[in-house]
Amino acid sequence: MTDPSNSPFVSDVPAEAALRSWLDACVADGCPERVAAVTVPLADAVGRVTAEPVWATRSSPVGDVSAMDGIAVVARDTAGASQTTPLRIDPGSYEVVDTGDPMPDGYDAVVMREHVHYIGGAAEIMAAVPPYQHVRSIGEDVSAGELLLPEGHRLRPVDVAASAAAGATELRVRRRPRVAVIPTGDEIVPVGSPPQLGEILDTNSPMLVAQAREAGCEAWAMPVQPDVVGTISAAVTEAAASADLVIVVAGSSAGRDDYTARVVAELGTLAVHGVAVRPGHPVVLGTVTGTDATPVVGAPGYPVSAALTFDIFIAPVLAALEGASPPHRPETPARLARKLPSVVGMDDWVRVRLGSVGGQVVASPLPRGAGVLTSLVRADGLLLVPAGVEGHHAGAQVSVQLLRRLPDIERTIVAIGSHDLVLDLAATALRSADPTLSLVSTNVGSLGGLVALRDGLCHLAGSHLLHPPTGEYTLPYLDEMMPDRELAVVRLVHRDQGLILPAGNPRGVRGLADLAGGELSYVNRQRGAGTRILLDQELHRLGIDSADVHGYAREEPTHLAVAAAVAAGRADCGMGILAAARAFGLDFVPIAQEPYDLVVDAASLDDPLLEPLWELLAAADFHASVRELGGYGTEETGRRIR
């Protein structure tokens, strides 16, 4: 039974309204509007925010100086000089100068060294110059008394250089905001402790501390606090005494051990509990009152939710404490690689991988679970589906916030289709050879990959699609789906498909025939996956109705996900590749050996972006690495089947 003293969600507050309510509470409770100003030497100023305007105390340059190596002259004395009619200037009518030298009195221009020949003591020039040619005038860069930088400006290396030129040796800046992170939960253990069953590593604290430091703050994590109200309250009070903002990790939902909202309400003001954002719904926003009130955030315990909570709510407040503008990511238009459903009523932040196909950016959604931390690791961008939108169809135009530079995205090979570990191996090898080149793969099944290729949403489609009427793989589908397209098919590997079973095969499974009785629980691949089509073909051959296979409707998107389900005991078996079984230390009963191919537009075979991939597929050491995974044959790797 839920403890009634715990706060339920107040409501699903829209993100902008939640942030506004939180800031209003901070003002009402007396939270400092800005952190204090400090004086720092120029060498320590980069990344800090100016606390007052920076005015030039001297001009730069301080007088007229030469902008080139050459000779100082009187401009009118050079009239008529050219390559065909050089002009001789006698000694005493010019002076030799180097870049940065003060201009000699009486001279108003410089002839660059490349246009001067010396004959005895005379200078022969081959170009006329107008007044002040190649001369930097006093104050050209900045004049004494001029505003160089406004208050609230985050300092860059060039700003520090300009400040030095303008006479500054130190600057008045805001001190770094201080952020304390408090992990909570009886099940949470510090990083470095081998987690036992039921325990979770505290990965959120180092992530949030790093996010705060990246934002220019001082940040630290406190020890993990158990799910005890008094203990959490004491930790929050201690943190608020020395921090400008406190983040309490986990305990923000409405479960029996979720106390963050209650603690905030008791120590200060609970402004918001529950925001219409996914992931990140159970956010707590409020203040803790003391000598000065301190903003406090209850971040959800799921890592993706915690990371996005920082971006959406915490980063703008930290910027405000320094008097700086909120952080802003550049955006780019993109086409969605596959259908993207969304829940109406919540802002849905979707992590995506990006690549440029046919001159247009393509966005492939990543797994959306709030606990899938690797989706943030692999993400090239964030796509916001607003609360009033029900999702997007494949091929729809969307706007994506960039987490990676566009030039890097343009050097990305986009593969969509069937999952295979060899593509991951290829991605690693390509990046090792060329740090500017990436290969990203999205696992939607072989049929989904061919559809994406047909619609111009990828460079490569990974396919091992069995065509039951002919017994051939992939090629018949190309003729059916894209009869007018000139396509090429490149063999990646042959691979062993079979039943993945628990270590030791405790049920004594010998093959697919053992699925007929319904006693074994099965985990399947998604519709359109080549592995599922192979299963259906084999079940038909054995006279087994798929309705009699217990778990047939349960789907996983990759071979590794199938193996993980078996390893965790959630299924007795599932079909996949031998390499996936080996990755989890599981048993394997072979069913078939099949080809896995890469389908591309024929014109793309000569695309410079794909050339390194074709070279890799021809390399003997790459073949050896593939065979080490287990269950792969590389005899035809790189061969053009069509």
Question: For residues 308 and 277, what is the distance between their CA atoms, to the nearest angstrom?
Answer: 9
**Distance set, CA 496 to CA 339, 465, 536 (Å):** 31, 14, 17
> What are the extents of the domains in the chain?
15-34+176-322, 37-60+140-174, 65-136, 331-412, 446-633
Instruction: Return the closest-CA partner of residue 422 out of 464, 359, 378, 466.
Output: 464
Q: pLDDT digits over 427-438, tens only?
A: 999 999 999 999
Q: Which pLDDT belongs to residue 370?
A: 55
Q: Are 215 and 327 in contact (CB under 8 A)?
A: yes
Task: Output b/e per residue, 178-213; b: 16+ Cβ within 10 A.
Answer: bbbbbbbbeebbeeeeeeeeeeeebebbebbbebbe
CATH second-level architecture of 331-412?
A: Beta Barrel (2.40)
Among the residues of 349-445, which ranges form H helices? Answer: 374-378, 406-409, 421-433
Architecture of the domain defined by 65-136: Beta Complex (2.170)
Q: Which two tokens stand for residue 105?
A: 């009195």
Please give the helix or strand (H or E) that residue 439 lies within, else none: strand 438-443
Residue 6: predicted pLDDT: 46
Give me the numbers of helices (H) and strands (E) for the chain, helices first please.
Answer: 17, 39
- Tell how far CA 578 is from the center of its chain: 31
Burial 336-375 (b: 16+ CB within 10 A, else e): bbbebebeeebbbbbbbbbbbbeeebbbbbbebebebbeb
DSSP characters over 191-250:
TTS-PPTT-EE--HHHHHHHHHHHTT-EEEEPPPBPS-HHHHHHHHHHHHHH-SEEEEES
CA–CA distance, 351 with 371 (Å, rounded to integer): 13
Helix (H, G, I), strand (E, B) or coil at 168: coil
Output the pLDDT for position 546.
93
| Pair of tokens at residue 356 | 């440029």
> Model confidence over 205-222: pLDDT tens digits?
999 999 999 999 999 999
Using H for helix, E for strand and C for coil, what is the string for 277-306? EECCCCCEEEEECCCCCEEEEEECCCHHHH
Q: Which CATH class is domain 446-633?
A: alpha beta
My answer on whether omega of the bond before 407 falls inside 30° of 0, hence cis, is no
Looking at CATH, the fold of the domain delimited by 37-60+140-174 is given as Molybdopterin biosynthesis moea protein, domain 2 (3.90.105)
Encoded tokens for 244: 């400008």
Could you please state the CATH topology (level 3) that the domain comprising 15-34+176-322 is classified under. Answer: Molybdenum Cofactor Biosythetic Enzyme; Chain A (3.40.980)
Residues lower than pLDDT 50 in the chain: 1-8
> Which residue matches tokens 């963050």?
260
Q: What is the largest CA-CA distance in the chain?
A: 109
User: How buried is 517 (Cβ within 10 angstroms: 0-12 exposed, 13-18 middle, 19+ buried)?
Assistant: exposed
507 SS3 class: coil
Where do the DSSP E strands lie in 366-403? 381-385, 391-392, 397-402
Helix (H) or strand (E) holding 511: none
Chain centroid to CA 566: 31
Decide: 415 and 462 in contact? Cβ < 8 Å.
Answer: yes
CA distance 376 to 350: 10
pLDDT at 4: 37
What per-residue confidence (pLDDT) applies to 257? Answer: 59
Residue with tokens 């990646």: 492
Count of other CB atoms within 10 angstroms of residue 624: 10
Cβ distance 534 to 524 under 8 Å? no
Q: Is 100 helix (H, G, I), strand (E, B) or coil?
A: coil
Q: Residue 401 pairs with which residues in a beta bridge?
A: 331, 382
CA-CA-CA-CA torsion sign (487, 490, 494, 499): negative
DSSP 325: P
